[in-house]
Structure 1
Amino acid sequence: MSSMAYNAAAGLGGMLKAGHEHYFDDDADGGAVVARSISAACELSRMLSSSLGPQGRNKLVVNHLEKIIVTSDCASILKEIEVEHPAAKLLELAVEQQEKECGDGTNLSLMFAGELLTSTLDLMKTMGWRHKTDILEGYHLAATKLLKDLLSTNEDEKGCVVGKLQHPASSPEALKELQEKVLKPVLGSKQYGTEDILSDLVGQACQIVLQEGMVLQPESIRTVKILGGNLSQSACVQGFVAQRGVETTKTRCEKAKIAVYASGVEASATEAKGTVLMKTADDLKNYNRTEEAKMEEIIQGIAESGVQVLVTGGNISDMALHFIEKYGLVALKLSSKWELRRLCQATGATALVRLGAPTPEEMGYSTVTQKVVGGRTVTVFENDVDGSSKIATLVLRASTSSVLNDLERAVEDGVHAVQMACKDGRLVYGGGACEMECAVQLDQFADQHPGLEQYAIRAFAKSLECVARTLADNAGWDAVQVLADIRAAHVNGQADVGIDITSAPGSKGMKEANVYDLMYVKRSALKLAIEAATTVLKVDQIIMSKRSGGPKMPGQ
């Protein structure tokens, strides 16, 4: 009954397990828990805000496995660092959800949440922390105005929307417009200077796998990284590229029929264990001859069915390889089940669990070639038999593994941008122009609320200016002067004025610069940021249980 004992004099400490930590607000400390939570979240946001935009800085992260990651991608950085503070963890979860939903806009989500919390801290110091309810009410009004009127999901509400893309598969002009207005800004923010090459590669891949009316599946576009060379040597392959060579001396087959086996091409062991007793050499010869005859019968049956290329997810025995060579087949071994599924998707084959001749419906079709790229042997399955493929592969080349990994992340963001454009092709101006226009509109909205909420609405609007200010800061410009010029232009009705780093320091029309953002991605990033920030503000106690496990090792 010791677990039922409760020492009332000990308070909360007598109720919770020994070793817990408890922080709370009272009238004496003036909201210390909220202030500490905001400070932790703002520090995380401030750390990664310098990675925003084409001139954003890279972060060099050494993770717990001592692997080095060099990138400016917010989601990738947060995956590798270990955030301890629970309030900062809430912002990390918002970024993770934005990455899962849209694949882009993660830095905007984190930065705006941090800026909103910084503005809240200033309001709390000015108004007193007991007015947090009024602050939250003002934020709720501003968020409702922003998400329902300015960035509405209702297509009848124009708000900040300035255009809409056609489906990229509807015409070559639609794909070109997608590359110019969406892909280049997204890829340029990750890999500035190489956006032209990368947008062409992603555009080619989308042209291969997309059909009119369908939403792009990111799994349909695969990347293969090969060290050496430079980005200009990268290529898009209509089909699948395996990062290993074939097992046979024959290395090429034109328009071949393909059989894919999930199991190995070898003599299978019986389920029941047994012992074979051999008394003479003839017994051994007959036993081997029987096994060879059976294997030859299987390979001969596969060859007679018209199959020219044999792919297996398991081992290929020496005996099987001998008969594969005898009948002039090409054999490839793929150890990854994931790659085996991709190959089946690219060629139209069915992975068989039985070893034998496939039916015509189970065969795949492709041109198979072994090539050497950058000193590495690869096998290319080009699906040009009927001119269509469900898989496109981007072969990326770069001088170091860090650059290759960052290029892969940029390509993934570009592919996700195309996916979002297929779902909702509405556009808003980029370069901080959309956020500044929303800020000006919210300032006018605040005039309609004479209560205490108007201060929170204005703080919310001022927080939206962080995008333009950060872009100017990262470009090395006078952020105060540039921000004043952009705001004055928006007040005078020039809704497309934003930051264009290719021009001289100052503002420029985003319509002229052809810099746009997808409204769906922008709305999702801001919505998640608002939810994360308001969740942090509603916390007044932090209760942390005792950590599991024993004491830490020295030095940890």
Structure 2
Amino acid sequence: MAFHVPKAPGFSQMLKDGAKHYSGLEDTVFRNVQACRDLAATTRTAYGPNGMNKMVVNHLEKSFVTNDAATILRELEVQHPAAKMLAMASHMQEQEAGDGTNFVLVFAGALLEHAEELLRMGLAVPEVIQGYEMACRKALEALPECVCSRVANLHDVKEVAAAIRPAIMSKQTGHEDFLAGLIAEACVSVYPESGNSFNVDNVRVCKVLGSGLAASTTLRGMVFRREAEGSVTSARDARVAVYSCPLDTESTEAKGTVLIRSAAELRSFSRGEEVMMEARVNAIREAGATVVVCGGKVGDLALHYADKHGLMVVRLLSKHDLRRLCRTLGATELPSIATPPTPDEMGRCDSVYRTEVGDTQLVVFRHEEGEGGGVGGAGVSTLVLRGSTENLMDDVERAVDDGVNCFKALARDPRLLPGAGATEIQLARRVAAYGEACPGLEQYAVKKFAEAFEAVPRALAENNGFKANELISKLYAAHHEGRSTAGLDIEAEALALRDVAEAPAVAEPFLVKHWGIKLASNAAVTVLRVNQIIMAKPAGGPKAPKAKKDWDNDDD
């Protein structure tokens, strides 16, 4: 005799069988906080110049060895909803400032850890949230007062290299001076004179396996890992015609049958195609073009006449590369070879040539130094990176990306803040003093917000092998004496402080810290606002039973 089993009372009775529902501090807030703390603890050991690397194997079984938090989170594919909020905040930090992704995770993890302490003390969640929001506003108000210097001239390579050096040092310790010079040269060469904006897509990277990092170079123009198609391999003062179509005979949309009765008719039929192709290639040459770039295959017949008329042919299959090349040369992308280019549609380049680096064939479109190129005078520069392994070059490329984004942040706001934990301690002191003057229970949350700033210098100390508590006390003592730019000296053998505003300065862009504090605070508050977790029944039916091994073997 069958009988009906009643569902559990409460909210669960409204959901399908298999759905899950959690509520209360223990099941929701503390569960989410623990997940976020675990995520922050994973990337915290990678913070700073001496942070440890992580080996991440993604779903395609490709391995990454890096200490870049953005890459780690992107390849891990975090699924926990609360931890995913921190990952999204870190991703937004990468989009807004390009650097400081690990800072967001470390700071947000510390905020949630201290929030858990406050909640276990008896404070209500709204009181903690209100205190955090008050402290965040105070920290952002006090941040401009911590500015130690600014980049006066973004067209000065040495000044820019000194400003972006700390961002590169956190990824490639020991090579920061060399890479900072290369990246600064590449960014300054394409930074418009008006200084209105900077497009990070104007700095490209070409990785060539072999040699060492010291063999890397930068040049104004673009470099492609390809070969020239024909026998013409170089052109000076080149006029470049860019086509998005193949350089070949056009095929008709409808299929047809041709009846040929004699050898003369066969020669006449083939000759028609040859005459048409030669006329088109000759028209391109007479228009003044010396280099043809096409976005599809190059036919043997077209290549024969291109060699005959002295045209250099380069094939690029990527539409994005074609668009960047047009921006570099000031050319217009043409859809068909039937129409020769006009003088306004052709791009100009000082030299186009094929070269060999190691055992890799390269085609280089190069502008001479000081020459403007592209739309509005803002061309494209390329960093040719050398390295012994692909993993090494991938890690260097991530350091280059951080340096270029750091330059972008400086183009928007040239102010610099002292690094090495100096800014965090200064903000901690100011926010803590503000918390002392706050009435109500929110002052506890404000003080804990100030205490969360200590997580950054604490992580730096632990990753350098120093005692964190001793460093924190030394930093507070130095800042109390008026040394507002005192930070950790990571190059010293023992625990020591230094004035990080001195040369070589350890500074970071104002926008990196501004957005980092803002996004970390918002992520922590969003996690704390969750008071219920409702998980619907997973889609799909029951899983199929596993088949026995070698079930289709006829010998069994």
| TM tier relative to shorter chain | over 0.9
8 Å contact from structure 2 (residues 148, 501) kept in 1: no
Aligned-partner residue type, residue 165 of structure 1: V
Structure 2 Cα separation of the partners of residues 471 and 553 of structure 1 = 50
Report whether the alignment pairs 1:437 with 2:420.
Answer: no
Structure 1, unpaired ranges of 5+: 1-6, 152-157
Report whether the alignment pairs 1:256 with 2:238.
Answer: yes
Report whether the alignment pairs 1:208 with 2:225.
Answer: no
8 Å contact from structure 1 (residues 498, 510) kept in 2: yes
Q: Deviations over 1:190-211 (max 9, x none)?
A: 1111011111111111121012
Structure 1 Cα separation of the partners of residues 486 and 443 of structure 2 = 26
Farther-moved stretch of structure 1 (330-339 vs 273-282):
273-282
For residue 129 of structure 2, the aligned residue among 113, 119, 136 is 136
1:537 paired residue number: 528
For residue 191 of structure 1, the aligned residue among 148, 152, 172 is 172
User: What are the residue-to-residue correspondences of 1:66-465 with 2, within 5 Å?
Assistant: 66-125=61-120, 127-128=121-122, 131-147=124-140, 149-151=141-143, 158-169=144-155, 172=156, 175-180=157-162, 182-212=163-193, 213-355=195-337, 356-366=339-349, 367-384=351-368, 387-389=371-373, 390-465=379-454
Structure 2 Cα separation of the partners of residues 194 and 554 of structure 1 = 55
For residue 462 of structure 2, the aligned residue among 467, 473, 476 is 473
Structure 1 Cα separation of the partners of residues 248 and 424 of structure 2 = 63
1:34 paired residue number: 29
Aligned-partner residue type, residue 538 of structure 2: R
Structure 1 Cα separation of the partners of residues 158 and 477 of structure 2 = 33
Q: 1:242 and 1:456, CA in 2 relative to 1: closer, same or farther beyond 3 A?
A: same
SS of 1:240's partner is: strand
Q: 1:368 and 1:385, CA in 2 relative to 1: closer, same or farther beyond 3 A?
A: farther
1:57 paired residue number: 52
- Give the aligned length: 531
Aligned-partner residue type, residue 345 of structure 2: E
Offset of 1:249 from its aligned partner? Answer: 1.3
For residue 509 of structure 1, the aligned residue among 481, 499, 506 is 499
Structure 1 Cα separation of the partners of residues 369 and 145 of structure 2 = 48
Structure 2 Cα separation of the partners of residues 319 and 339 of structure 1 = 25
Aligned-partner residue type, residue 184 of structure 2: G
For residue 44 of structure 1, the aligned residue among 34, 39, 44 is 39
Q: 1:281 and 1:348, CA in 2 relative to 1: closer, same or farther beyond 3 A?
A: same
Offset of 1:551 from its aligned partner? Answer: 5.3
Report whether the alignment pairs 1:494 with 2:483.
Answer: yes
8 Å contact from structure 1 (residues 365, 385) kept in 2: no
Report whether the alignment pairs 1:525 with 2:516.
Answer: yes
8 Å contact from structure 1 (residues 34, 539) kept in 2: yes
Structure 2 Cα separation of the partners of residues 454 and 228 of structure 1 = 58
Structure 2 Cα separation of the partners of residues 352 and 39 of structure 1 = 56
Farther-moved stretch of structure 1 (268-277 vs 451-460):
268-277
Q: 1:385 and 1:115, CA in 2 relative to 1: closer, same or farther beyond 3 A?
A: closer
8 Å contact from structure 1 (residues 346, 383) kept in 2: no
Structure 1 Cα separation of the partners of residues 329 and 542 of structure 2 = 54
8 Å contact from structure 1 (residues 246, 332) kept in 2: yes
Offset of 1:8 from its aligned partner? Answer: 9.1
8 Å contact from structure 2 (residues 353, 364) kept in 1: yes
SS of 1:201's partner is: helix
Q: Deviations over 1:1-56 (max 9, x none)?
A: xxxxxx9975433322332221111xxxx533211110100000011001111101
SS of 2:398's partner is: helix
Structure 2 Cα separation of the partners of residues 360 and 508 of structure 1 = 59
1:3 paired residue number: none
Farther-moved stretch of structure 1 (368-377 vs 208-217):
208-217
Q: CA RMSD, aligned part only?
A: 1.7
Q: 1:554 and 1:339, CA in 2 relative to 1: closer, same or farther beyond 3 A?
A: farther
Structure 2 Cα separation of the partners of residues 243 and 102 of structure 1 = 30
Offset of 1:503 from its aligned partner? Answer: 2.4
Task: Percent identity, please.
Answer: 41
Structure 1 Cα separation of the partners of residues 420 and 8 of structure 2 = 59
